[in-house]
Amino acid sequence: MKKRRKQRIKTRRFRGNLWGQAQSKRKHPLAYESWIRMRSRINNPNDPFYSDYGGRGITLDSSWDSFEQFLKDMGDPPVIGERYSLDRINNDGNYNKANCRWATAQEQANNRRIPHAWQIE
Report the SS3 class of residue 3: helix
The answer to whether 38 and 95 have CB atoms below 8 angstroms apart is yes
Reading the chain (121 residues) residue by residue, the pLDDT tens digits are 555 544 444 444 434 444 445 567 788 899 999 999 999 999 999 999 999 999 999 999 999 999 999 999 999 999 877 889 999 999 999 999 999 999 999 998 888 776 655 555 5
State how far the Cα of 69 lies from the Cα of 74, in Å rounded to an integer. 9
Cβ atoms < 10 Å from Cβ of 24: 14
What's the angle, vertex CA 97, arms to CA 89 and CA 109, rounded to 5?
Answer: 25
